[in-house]
Chains A and B, each alone.
Chain A
Amino acid sequence: MKKKVLSLLLCGVMVMGTLVGCGSSGSSDGGSSDGGSDSGDTITVGFSQVGAESDWRTANTASMKETFSEENGYTLIFDDAQQKQENQITAIRNFIQQEVDYIVLAPVTETGWDTVLQEAKDAGIPVIIVDRMVDVSDDSLYTAWVGSDFRAEGNKACEWLNAFAEAKGINAGDLNIVDIQGTIGASAQIGRSEGLNDAVKKYGWNLVAQQTGEFTQAKGQEVMESLLKQNDNINVVYCENDNEAFGAIDALEAAGYKVGDDIANGEVMVMSFDSTNAGLTDVLSGKITVNTECNPLHGPRVEEIIKKLQSGKDVDQLQYVDESIFAVDDTVTSIEAETSLGETSKYDVTVVTQDVIDGRAY
């Protein structure tokens, strides 16, 4: 009896194995036939994506697919790595074999790319990294990196807060801020926390507490609950992503606080990052006052780099995508903030309406 069950199980596993095998070989066949059609007039781009774990990622993929469409003169070979680095390495090797013109890589992890990127370099294929950074011993292994400037995001949010306080006539010393940080060590957390810390020094705000909410709603809620018990003077909550902001808002409302931008009359202002659909919906309802974007639409910037390379020009190795800032009203219409590259640029503040939310890709 036991043997029968076991053999049945084994059969099941083997059938599964062949099915999975078929699936993957099928897709790579499709890929190579796409690559084979590559003639002189279209540019073939191989894109290895992390997966589809969040709205942000889905929008990132859609942006690439839209930009590198056949109408625009590209052949895109897309590979979903399902969160696995080994899948990405296999995909890059396939791209090299198919002799694509450019490889675009959204890496799962930072380390472990030296060998495969060296192979791409030896084959003479430029590699463009998007979103997360790669940590390689030789920086010439990739041609360019495109991603978010988290430090600038932090600066922008803080410049907005400063402008807002000035417009409303609130003293810098009366701003009692708590910072619900992201997962400690994540690049988004580092940039956004640094932006706040510098602004606190620069403008003389009162930073009451800093605690990690690990980028999740549950932790954001728990931390906010606790922070409210230690301090009864909090009037600004600086959440480092939308999920934490949702949790913080729940905790504030449960404790009888009112969230909103009228801090002179006892409301608590919630600031957030990412500008996801749900996040902007909360801006529309006034629960989040300001939301700084983390833009997933990398396609156009990558295309710009490829066009420059096609015409034989040099490109900057680090390139940041354009990101805007959303607010509940037009108290502040534009701000000037410094980017990681040390330049100061001007950003217009977008007032959120239903049309703005509907018009966004994610």
Chain B
Amino acid sequence: MAQQSKTSKWNQIRHAKLFMPIVCLLIVLLLNVIQTPDFFKISMNNGVLYGYLVDIINRGSELVILAVGMTLVTAVSGGQDISVGAVMAVAAAICCQILSGGAVSTNTLAAPIIVAALAGILAAGLCGAFNGFLVAKLNIQPMVATLILFTAGRGIAQLVTKGQITYVRVGSYKVLGGYIGSCPIPTPVFVAILTVIVMQLILKKTALGLYLESVGINGSASRLVGLNSTMLKIIAYIICGLLAGLAGIVASSRIYSADANNIGLNLEMDAILAVALGGNNLGGGKFNLMGSIIGAYTIQALTTSLYAMSVSADQLPVYKAIVVIAIVVLQSPVFQSRISKVTQRKAVGNAA
């Protein structure tokens, strides 16, 4: 009897939504311990927290912010926004250009940081609205609609920065990507956590989360029960754009400059992967925000681990691909049903 309740509890855990994403994250982290024994060591160095785990949480911040927006877009429209990386560059370019007052490099601020940052994020929101308009109003497939800004976004950013890297060499601009005063925890971590909390509150305290899921599952049916699917889709894309803008400002603050060619480069693919690793269906419908966030940290953990294991640069993508394939296979429905069959057979064998 006791045995049975134990197995049922195990089954409960095993079938929990977040089980597989968490297991994958743990596997990636534990693999490190074999290679790098002091992987989990966190110490104080120069007044700030120091260690691989801190790096993962710090460097993963932008990806987490993007993954949140990507999850919403995926849920409501059954497609992905591949323009987020380019939109990051647009936000960073506008923010730095306002701060520098049009110069290539500046040591004094031409405008308050908050104004410039808001302008950048707002521009990113506009990009999101444009994507949303194409997807919801004109019914263009998300991948195709967002391909426009994916291609044009960096061009726009280049145009804003006049094709050069704009530097803002002012201490206060480095805070968002660095540290607040003598606080030992990097600021991007707070930004990411705050984003997640705010989004979680909006989704749970209002009916927005439920509405997005219902539109994603069946748009026409949702419209018939009185939901404005078009508007909901546009809202999701605007949120995704705003978050991409925020991520862009954080990334730009890290390097106190707007590098239109490189900020957020290939990050849209990582964000989509994070959503998938989190156990979300890329075809839309029900979504799990926490899953995507764990997925994002898994990807960053993988990158940091490969650095820690000193994998040579030319082989890096291969190892990354192998681990990603393994994780995706582990989570695939076919593999899962195989596993549950095997465990069932074992259980039957034990009973007999």
Task: Please give the residue numbers on chain A whose beta carbons come within 8 Å of chain B beta carbons, in ascending order.
Answer: 51-55, 58, 181, 184-185, 209-212, 214, 216-218, 221-223, 225-227, 229-230, 243, 246-247, 250, 254-256, 278
- Given A184-B313, A254-B46, answer yes or no on A221-B255 (Cβ-Cβ < 8 Å): yes
Contact of B314 among A58, A184, A214, A246 (CB under 8 A): A184
A53: nearest chain-B partner, CB-CB: B163
Contact (Cβ within 8 A) B263 A209: no
What are 11 inter-chain pairs, A to B, with CB distance below 8 A?
Answer: A54-B163, A210-B312, A210-B313, A211-B312, A211-B313, A216-B259, A217-B257, A218-B254, A221-B255, A223-B307, A230-B308
From DSSP, what is the main secondary structure of chain A's interface residues? helix
- Given A53-B158, A217-B257, A218-B251, answer yes or no on A255-B304 (Cβ-Cβ < 8 Å): no
Contact (Cβ within 8 A) A230 B310: yes
A54-B164, A229-B308 given; 12 more Cβ-contact pairs under 8 Å: A51-B163, A53-B163, A58-B164, A211-B313, A218-B254, A218-B259, A218-B262, A222-B59, A229-B52, A254-B48, A255-B45, A255-B50
B186: nearest chain-A partner, CB-CB: A254
A residues in contact with B165, CB < 8 Å: 54, 243
B residues in contact with A229, CB < 8 Å: 50-52, 55, 308
A residues in contact with B261, CB < 8 Å: 53
B residues in contact with A227, CB < 8 Å: 307
Q: How far is the CA of A209 from the CA of B312 in the complex (A)?
A: 9
Number of A-B contacts (CB under 8 A): 72
B residues in contact with A185, CB < 8 Å: 314
Q: How far is the CA of A212 from the CA of B306 in the complex (A)?
A: 12
Asked whether any CB of chain A lies closer than 8 Å to the CB of B220, the reply is no
Asked whether any CB of chain A lies closer than 8 Å to the CB of B125, the reply is no
Asked whether any CB of chain A lies closer than 8 Å to the CB of B211, the reply is no
A276: nearest chain-B partner, CB-CB: B165
Q: How far is the CA of A12 from the CA of B52 in the complex (A)?
A: 53
B residues in contact with A210, CB < 8 Å: 312-313
Q: How far is the CA of A218 from the CA of B262 in the complex (A)?
A: 9
Please give the distance in Å from A315's CB to the nearest CB on chain B.
33
A residues in contact with B263, CB < 8 Å: 218
Contact (Cβ within 8 A) A278 B105: yes
Q: How far is the CA of A223 from the CA of B165 in the complex (A)?
A: 21
- Give a binary string over B62-80; 1 marks a CB under 8 Å from any A CB, 0 the rest: 0000000000000000000
- Give a binary string over B302-321; 1 marks a CB under 8 Å from any A CB, 0 the rest: 00100110101110100000
B residues in contact with A256, CB < 8 Å: 45-46
Contact of A212 among B52, B55, B105, B313 (CB under 8 A): B313
Contact (Cβ within 8 A) A226 B308: yes
A residues in contact with B55, CB < 8 Å: 222, 225-226, 229
Asked whether any CB of chain A lies closer than 8 Å to the CB of B36, the reply is yes
The 4 A-B pairs with the shortest beta carbon distances in the complex, nearest first, are A256-B46, A212-B313, A226-B307, A217-B255
Please give the distance in Å from B244's CB to the nearest CB on chain A.
16
- Give a binary string over B241-265; 1 marks a CB under 8 Å from any A CB, 0 the rest: 0000000000100110101011100
Asked whether any CB of chain A lies closer than 8 Å to the CB of B167, the reply is yes
Contact (Cβ within 8 A) B259 A211: no
A223: nearest chain-B partner, CB-CB: B307
Contact (Cβ within 8 A) A278 B167: yes
- Given A51-B163, A230-B36, answer yes or no on A255-B310 (Cβ-Cβ < 8 Å): no
Q: How far is the CA of A218 from the CA of B48 in the complex (A)?
A: 20
Asked whether any CB of chain A lies closer than 8 Å to the CB of B278, the reply is no
Q: How far is the CA of A222 from the CA of B105 in the complex (A)?
A: 23
Q: How far is the CA of A52 from the CA of B254 in the complex (A)?
A: 25
Asked whether any CB of chain A lies closer than 8 Å to the CB of B178, the reply is yes
Contact (Cβ within 8 A) A55 B308: no
Most buried by A among B46, B163, B313: B313
A residues in contact with B105, CB < 8 Å: 278
Please give the distance in Å from B171's CB to the nearest CB on chain A.
12
B residues in contact with A243, CB < 8 Å: 165, 259
B residues in contact with A55, CB < 8 Å: 164
Contact (Cβ within 8 A) A255 B255: no
Q: How far is the CA of A51 from the CA of B165 in the complex (A)?
A: 15
Contact of A226 among B259, B304, B316 (CB under 8 A): B304
Contact (Cβ within 8 A) B313 A221: no
Q: How far is the CA of A225 from the CA of B164 in the complex (A)?
A: 26
